[in-house]
Amino acid sequence: METPAHENNAPTPAQQALDALAENTENAAALDALANSDVLIPVPDDAADEEAADPGAVALPVLEQPGGTQVVPVFTSELEMAGLLPFVSRYRLVPLGALAAQWPAEDLSLTIDGSSEHRLTLTSEGVRTLLARPQG
């Protein structure tokens, strides 16, 4: 039986892009790869099943950081999600570029793989300018 790449600790394309961006935040190829990757968005346990299944609406989980900064955590794999949010049992798989294209205007940051060494946090401006892709 073949093991999926994310289960044998091989980095996913999104994780490889994060590693490249850790070395050079201007790496356009890595930003493109990241924007074209699917990410896991935790679904709050109190979200109704209809909300969790609606492809047109994604409820963004918001974590408040020390100092009052609000961030939305997304993850490149189930393993990464379990590292930061072990209690989350449901998630949505969403293309990061599509999520960024609809990013709210308020000051809401995005953290990708928040508990890993290759984590990336972007301001709301950074999300919209670096990762947004036209909807097709």
Angle at 58 between CA 55 and CA 59, to 5 degrees: 150
Mean pLDDT, range 57-73, rounded to an integer: 85
* Residues 28-59: tens digit of each pLDDT: 999 999 999 999 999 877 666 665 555 566 77
- 111: confidence class by pLDDT, cuts 50, 70, 90: very high
Quick check: 98 pLDDT over 50? yes
| Percentage of residues in the chain having pLDDT higher than 90 | 48
Number of H helices, E strands in the chain: 6, 6
Q: Which two tokens stand for residue 50?
A: 């209809």
Question: pTM score, two decimals?
Answer: 0.82
What is the structure's pLDDT at 124?
Answer: 92
